[in-house]
Amino acid sequence: MRAAVYHARNDVRLEDVEDADPGPGQVKIAVAYNGICGSDLFEYYHGPLGIQTSPHPLTGAVLPQILGHEFGGHVVATGAGVADVSVGDLVAVDPIHVCGSCTYCLAGDTNLCVMAAFHGLSARGGGLSDFTVVDRRMVHVLPAGLTPRHAAVVEPMAVALRSARRAEVREGQTVVVFGAGPIGLGAFFACRWLGAQAIMVEPSAERRAILAGLGAQTILDPTTDDIASAVLDLTGGVGAHAAIDAAAKPATFAAAFTTTRRRGTISIVGIAHEPLPLDPIAMFASEITVRASNAYSDDFPMTIGAMAEGAFPLEGWVTSIALEDLIDGGFEVLREGKAMKILVELAGG
């Protein structure tokens, strides 16, 4: 089967690799689409980081590594003991491999597993291949009406929905979302589904245009707008109930404090690549709660349910390419900011 295999920084090869059969408790999937994630770009241009250079303690995975953790497709085979998933089912995959026995796994907080690995980064196999095998617990069957393209974006939308849940977004609230990449855009969708108004802050003109086309009512440009003053004006001088920082840069994190009301909540879902400035006086004076939002735990079913209700539309921001175009038509295009979300079409598409 075809697969995109990471060997080293700037070295991803399209190779013919051996197909695998599902073992007990496992499911084999014909991958329809796999989304390219910002972490894939970071690994390609700056890694290996999450990709293992020595065997992972849980999965044994080590370079070379098949990429791809945002994916979905159709079930083509099941292993012994799998009775609640059928051949032909359209599924989305939660890519986190967990130990199942640590304190966090036992509490249901699988995203905090002390030995967690990711399919497509630190586990054998990945979604950028025609077929892949995963454990049954990682598979979520999609309801009728959703498509394979929906299946491939469940993962990033689950990240986004969790960020809104971590911010304790409620109906009738106002939320400031910093950054309108796929996760920030997903946070906008999530806030709208939860009944909150999202004020979007994004420096890219192209992304602001996409937001407008998808129904965002208030979009601010941090290169020209006074964000703090604008948010205060829009909230009667009080500030937003919450902020979701999908950019996780010093400027956006600092702005989150100036736009969030007292006893509000800041949810950080972006991955920071430099220290974020925390003003303890401002936090003390305002009693603002700052939370990280790490991936997802129980968020997949809620995301799929919201998607079935139309909460996460695909039009206007999702495009697709062939596997053969992964580098030039995928990684390079995304690095240059010329697309929002690119799905790679595979055998099941």
Give the span between the Cα atoms of 187 and 214, in whole angstroms.
13
Give the start-end residues of each E strand in 115-253. 117-118, 131-135, 139-141, 174-178, 197-201, 218-220, 240-245
- The string of pLDDT tens digits covering residues 263-307 is 999 999 999 989 999 888 888 899 999 999 999 999 999 999 999
Average pLDDT on 100-104 reads 97
pLDDT of residue 280: 87
pLDDT of residue 281: 85
Q: Domains (ranges, CATH) in the chain?
A: 2-141+315-345 (3.90.180.10), 158-292 (3.40.50.720)
pLDDT of residue 283: 86
Give the span between the Cα atoms of 50 and 196, in whole angstroms.
35
- The string of pLDDT tens digits covering residues 117-171 is 999 999 999 999 999 999 999 999 999 999 999 999 999 999 999 999 999 999 9
Q: What φ, ψ does residue 65 adopt, rounded to 5°?
A: -130, 130
Higher pLDDT, 273 or 240: 240
Asked whether the beta carbons of 195 and 179 are under 8 A apart, the reply is: no
Residue with tokens 């800041």: 266
pLDDT of residue 35: 98
Q: How confident is the model at residue 349 (pLDDT cuts 50, 70, 90)?
A: confident
Asked whether the beta carbons of 196 and 240 are under 8 A apart, the reply is: no
Residue 232 is which amino acid?
A: L
pLDDT of residue 91: 98
Q: What is the pTM of this model?
A: 0.97
DSSP characters for 7-43? EETTEEEEEE-------TTEEEEEEEEEEPPHHHHHH
Give the span between the Cα atoms of 116 and 172, in whole angstroms.
36
pLDDT at 308 over 90: yes
DSSP characters for 80-93? TT--S--TT-EEEE
- The string of pLDDT tens digits covering residues 156-184 is 999 999 999 999 999 999 999 999 999 99
